[in-house]
Amino acid sequence: MKKGLFITFEGIEGCGKSTQARMLKEFLIKAGKHVFLTREPGGPKIAEEIRKMLLSVNNKEMLPQTEVLLYMASRSQHTGEWIIPELEKGKIVISDRYYDSTFAYQGAARKIDGKLIDTIRRYATFGLVPDITFLVDLPEEIGLSRILAKDADRLEQESIAFHKKVRNGFLELANKEPERFVVLDGNKSIKEIHDDVIDIICKELII
């Protein structure tokens, strides 16, 4: 049984979730909390190696089925080796993406069956569910405009239509689980979004 608190940040490419995750970590550390910040895909060595395969522009022939299994494999290693042990220590774990991204990218955008994803998800994550998920919602055109073409990875290079499906997928997830999701307006300034995050953390989670 985990003792800590598990917080995740989700959203389309360029929405600013990574910045918000880092800012929350800094805030919580200043508040005297023990915090562990991580990301997906990635984390421990094995998961990082899988990340390289997933995001490499040299792997454009990757099938959706391969993609979803690789994401889940990376997540399983990440969860078992890093996330659960840190939660058991009583830490607040913040992850920049978690399994909701698979439902949005491979489910909504790649059309992989959601029930199949959920079955694999339960196994790969050892049944772990985030306590709270912040979804930084932003129009896909704005998010993608923040990414330089020369720096774009395999998924960032997908079409606007693809990323629109991803965004809609995230919003559908938020509607299905309103008790877990907090939808943030990604059009606000970085500080304004951060203030909204802190307001939720302090008032609802009493930190």
Confidence (pLDDT) at 115: 97
CB count, 10 Å around CB of 60? 8
Confidence (pLDDT) at 75: 98
Confidence (pLDDT) at 2: 65
Paired tokens of 123: 């196994």
Number of domains making up the chain? 1
pTM value is: 0.94
Residues recorded for the chain: 207
Residue 199, C-beta contacts closer than 8 angstroms, at least 6 positions apart:
none
Domain boundaries, position 102: 5-203
Amino acid at 199: D
Confidence (pLDDT) at 181: 98
What are 8's strand-pairing partners?
Answer: 95, 133
Question: pLDDT digit of tens for each residue in the chain (207 aa)?
Answer: 468 999 999 999 999 999 999 999 999 999 999 999 999 999 999 999 999 999 999 999 999 999 999 999 999 999 999 999 999 999 999 999 999 999 999 999 999 999 999 999 999 999 999 999 999 999 999 988 888 777 888 888 888 999 999 999 999 999 999 999 999 999 999 999 999 999 999 987 766
CB 169 within 8 A of CB 117: no
CATH of the domain at 95: 3.40.50.300
Amino acid at 8: T
